[in-house]
Amino acid sequence: MDRNSQKVLVTGADGFIGSHLTETLVRQGYQVRAFVLYNSFNSWGWLDHAPEDIKQSIEIFSGDIRDPFGVKEAMKGCDAVLHLAALIAIPYSYHSPATYVDTNVNGTLNVLEAAKSLGISKVIHTSTSEVYGTARFVPITEEHPLQGQSPYSATKIAADQLAMSYYYSFQTPVTIIRPFNTYGPRQSARAVIPTIITQIAQGARQIKLGALHPTRDFNFVKDTVAGFIAALETDAIEGEVINLGSNYEISIGDTVKAIADTMNAEIEIQTDEQRLRPEKSEVERLWADNAKAKRILGWEPRYGGLEGFKRGLQETAAWFTDKQNLSAYKADRYNI
């Protein structure tokens, strides 16, 4: 894809990964239209905090991914769409599942229908490692069974299947990118790494957490962004599902220790019952096989393994401990 002449739409551009992706695309010379959630405050989410030259270089489209008319309007004149807009908090999906169907399933349908109608040349749909549920084998390849262990993951499975159905039925040029647990600056405190860092940064030494035994494959946000851009720039990958992960497994308990070491903090962990998932809903183990991404995208994590994970934690902690950044978080309250 010619960076200078192609226009790319990023949905969810106001969010954690979306804002990092949008900024990187602009720096690499792409014409970017950023789809942000319409609101009366005219907030662009994390893009409000982007450098001024970045903000001057992006075209903002305020809308709602649940609205098919706005989605189609946003996609007009674009060559490719990177679809990241979604509701992602698992605890919130337990009591408000209909909003996840509206956003994750119907929102994806709106993107696919517009892409079919407008003849978009590339659609990159964002999945999640949560669709695999607790690993039945490791490392997890793209052929692993899908298991909806939460309403959130069920809607992401549905969205993935819709995306593939448009590829099979209408030859819509869809590629599914499946990031494992992405972390880094700007992430919501509903995720475990920011939860730990913000509590320590605000002076807490008794850290409230949920289950410590599950394992995760954490992927630093710069690596995730690089994977999306590699997919954007790679030809003949329509119909493919591709994991983005570090191929490194670590427990939540060991993650806590690594963060405490990074921040030079002596801490005590307290189990907070409200942070525990229902027993059968907890995803016990995630560990990515990233061989396919290496093979067809030429992508591999720069923050892989324990050493890379520690470097990513250092960058993340440095961002969160900046007083201006930390002030945006309510570390003393549980954020679902």
Task: Domain of residue 109: give its range.
Answer: 7-183+219-247+286-303
- pTM for the structure as a whole: 0.97
- pLDDT tens digits, 198-229: 999 999 888 888 889 999 999 999 999 999 99
Do the domain assignments include residue 129? yes
Looking at residue 15, which CATH number applies to its domain? 3.40.50.720
Do the domain assignments include residue 254? no
Residue 1 pLDDT greater than 70, yes or no: no
DSSP string, 123-159: EEEE--GGGG-S-SSSSBPTTSPP---SHHHHHHHHH
**Sole residue written with tokens 């409000």:** 48
Distance CA 226, CA 221 (A): 9
Do the domain assignments include residue 150? yes
- pLDDT tens digits, 25-53: 999 999 999 999 999 999 999 999 999 99
Contact yes or no for 10/88 (Cβ under 8 A):
no
Do the domain assignments include residue 330? no
Do the domain assignments include residue 324? no
- pLDDT tens digits, 264-309: 999 988 888 888 889 899 999 999 999 999 999 999 999 999 999 9
Q: How many domains does the chain have?
A: 1
Do the domain assignments include residue 213? no
Do the domain assignments include residue 280? no
Do the domain assignments include residue 321? no
Contact yes or no for 16/219 (Cβ under 8 A):
no
